[in-house]
């Protein structure tokens, strides 16, 4: 009698050890990086729709090239009123409004200052205070005029740069799409700096997210966005100082308070903007922003965690 | 009857032990990185596949969309050491030896990834 149960029992035990491997994958080059979509449910049409979303926002937010739509490059090229895609209008508006959600060091008008820093650091040079001041004057005398949900006018000489928010904003659009389809199992990796997580197909649903700035460290996360800003990737060391690609819009400096900031949030745009802005914040300021904006944060300096929200557990392999 | 029962019990225990042993091997294997392979793509087409576990020092000259890109491998890591791109971000990234961060030369459409089993589902940073 027992023999009849033996084989089914072995099969049951064996299959319980294996994971469901169904996954739809896609990779698209957008926002100067590769976006990798992993859907553990859904179909190829979903992959295609998601790719279209990334492609559209990549074109809209491009501040370096003219594309086949009116984009940030177009807006930066004129002071005239322009009719733009309502999605771009909403993205630019969000990039301004996010300041009120705690991203006080996030300014979309720092485009020309960022470009100047990038060019200087490429040559192994640091911008002079005179050059920085000139750009700060431009920024402080510039603004963006919004009208009718699709009309925009850049006033002044400062250029718009949405590099610190566009990817997270697009992930929000993708998340809305996946929620509408009632999909739960997905992982979208926006070039390792912005990640959208659904639930893993496992008993607890948590994904292991490795933290590149801390050796062998990882966190467990699901149903959230994780954004990070770090000097380790694009930082340039000149003398004893590491200069960052993240510019402080208040004083024009490329020296950050923190080496890396990780933000876990429920909105991609907020996580992206806050992780950028928090590179300049003190720990006390970050704690207050966590309370005000409902995000959780890890702050890293000199290869160590100098602050971690109590609700985040960091594990080590 | 008792002998038959005992035999069946032994078969059951051996079977379960075998399943447990296989599971253990799978778990142990998962915690060890497999051989790492670098893939160089130009505009999404893989043009070179390099076994980094051989730890060979080699040079590769990849035809990018705007010029040649000089790729170098040494001691299980890979880097773009020369490119005609304006920003040189790809060169500044230096050598990579795991799958956490690809090297991208957007100007030349060149993309270098390292594949291999890793402990995490995704890498942040």
Residue A19 confidence (pLDDT):
47
**Which of A315, A100, A62, A103 is CA-nearest to residue A229?**
A103
Residue A237 confidence (pLDDT):
84
Q: In a structure prediction context, what are the per-residue pLDDT tens digits for chain B, which is 125 residues long?
A: 577 788 888 888 888 888 777 766 555 444 434 467 888 988 877 888 887 877 788 889 999 999 999 999 987 889 999 999 998 989 988 888 877 778 999 999 999 988 765 678 898 98
Contact A271, A297 (CB under 8 A): no
Q: Which CATH class is domain B37-115?
A: mainly beta
Over the range B39-69, which residues count as b (16 or more CB within 10 Å of their CB) and which as e? Answer: ebbbeeeeeeebebeeeeeeebebebeeeeb
- Whether the CB of B84 is below 8 Å from some CB of chain A: the reply is no
What residue spans define the domains of chain B? 1-32, 37-115
Return the H-helix or E-strand segment holding B49. Answer: strand B45-51
In eight-state DSSP terms, residue B76 is: T
What's the rounded Cα separation, in Å, for the pair A247 and A105? 9
Q: List the A143-147 sheet strands across, edge first.
A: A81-83, A151-155, A143-147
Can you name the residues that pair with B49 across neighbouring β-strands? B39
Residues in chain A predicted with pLDDT less than 70, given as ranges, are 1-21
Residue B26 confidence (pLDDT):
56
- Which of B 95-124 lie inside 8 A of A, CB atoms? 100-102, 104, 106, 111, 118-124
Contact A218, A315 (CB under 8 A): yes
Q: What residue ranges in A31-182 does DSSP mark as E strands?
A: 33-39, 81-83, 143-147, 151-155
The residue among A210, A262, A315 with the most chain B CBs within 10 A of its CB, best to mutate, is A210
* A33 to B119: CB separation less than 8 angstroms, yes or no: no
What's the rounded Cα separation, in Å, for the pair A139 and A128? 17
- Per-residue tokens: A98: 């996010």
Residue A4 confidence (pLDDT):
57
Give the closest-approach CA distance of B87 to chain A in angstroms: 7
Q: Which CATH class is domain A24-316?
A: alpha beta
Pairing outcome for strands A260-265 and A224-230:
antiparallel
* B104 to A228: CB separation less than 8 angstroms, yes or no: no
At residue A232, the 3 state secondary structure works out as helix
- Per-residue tokens: A177: 């799409």
**Which of B21, B110, B54, B91 is CA-nearest to residue A122?**
B91
Contact A311, A264 (CB under 8 A): no
- Which of B 34-53 lie inside 8 A of A, CB atoms? 44
What's the rounded Cα separation, in Å, for the pair A28 and A35? 5
Measured between alpha carbons, how far apart are the two ends of chain A, in Å? 45
Return the H-helix or E-strand segment holding A176. Answer: helix A166-180
Pairing outcome for strands B58-63 and A314-316:
unpaired
**Residues A214-240: tens digit of each pLDDT:** 878 899 999 999 999 998 777 788 888
Return the H-helix or E-strand segment holding A133. Answer: helix A129-140
**Chain B residues closer than 8 Å to A189 by CB:** 122
* A226 to B93: CB separation less than 8 angstroms, yes or no: no
């Amino acid at each position: 009698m027992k023999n009849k149960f033996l084989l089914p029992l072995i099969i049951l035990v064996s299959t319980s050890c294996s994971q469901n491997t169904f996954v739809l994958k896609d990779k698209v080059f957008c926002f100067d990086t590769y976006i990798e979509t992993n859907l553990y449910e859904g179909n190829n049409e979903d992959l295609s729709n998601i790719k279209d979303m990334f492609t559209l926002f990549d074109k809209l937010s491009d501040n370096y090239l003219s594309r086949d739509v009116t984009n940030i490059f177009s807006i930066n090229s004129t002071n005239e009123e322009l009719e733009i895609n309502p999605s771009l209008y909403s993205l630019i508006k969000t990039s301004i409004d996010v300041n009120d959600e705690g991203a006080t060091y996030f300014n979309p008008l720092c485009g020309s200052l960022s470009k100047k820093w990038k060019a200087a650091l490429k040559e192994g040079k640091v911008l002079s205070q005179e050059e920085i001041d000139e750009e700060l004057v431009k920024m402080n005398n510039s603004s963006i005029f919004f009208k009718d949900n699709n009309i925009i006018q850049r006033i002044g000489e400062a250029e718009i740069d949405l590099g610190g928010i566009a990817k997270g904003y697009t992930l929000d659009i993708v998340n809305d799409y996946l929620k509408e389809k009632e999909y739960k199992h997905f992982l979208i990796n926006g070039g390792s700096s912005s990640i959208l997580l659904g639930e893993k197909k496992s008993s607890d649903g948590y994904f292991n997210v490795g933290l590149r700035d801390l050796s062998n460290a990882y966190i467990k996360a699901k149903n959230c966005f994780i954004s990070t800003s770090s000097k380790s990737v694009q930082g340039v060391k000149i003398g004893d100082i590491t200069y960052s690609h993240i510019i402080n819009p208040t004083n024009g400096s490329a020296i950050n308070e923190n080496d890396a900031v990780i933000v876990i949030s429920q909105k991609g745009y907020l996580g992206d903007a806050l992780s950028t802005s928090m590179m300049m914040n003190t720990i006390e300021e970050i704690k207050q922003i966590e309370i005000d904006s409902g995000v959780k944060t890890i702050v890293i300096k000199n290869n160590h965690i100098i602050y971690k929200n109590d609700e985040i557990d960091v594990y080590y392999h | 009857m008792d002998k038959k029962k005992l035999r069946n019990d032994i078969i059951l225990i051996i079977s379960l032990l075998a399943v447990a042993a296989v599971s253990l091997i799978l778990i142990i294997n998962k915690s060890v990185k497999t051989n790492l392979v670098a893939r160089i793509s130009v505009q999404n087409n893989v043009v070179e596949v390099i076994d980094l576990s051989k730890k060979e020092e080699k040079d590769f000259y990849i035809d990018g969309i705007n010029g040649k890109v000089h790729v170098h491998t040494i001691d299980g890591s890979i880097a773009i050491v020369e490119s005609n791109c304006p920003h040189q971000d790809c060169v500044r990234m230096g050598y990579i030896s795991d799958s956490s961060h690809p090297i991208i030369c957007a100007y030349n459409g060149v993309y270098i990834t390292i594949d291999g089993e890793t402990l995490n589902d995704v890498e942040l940073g």
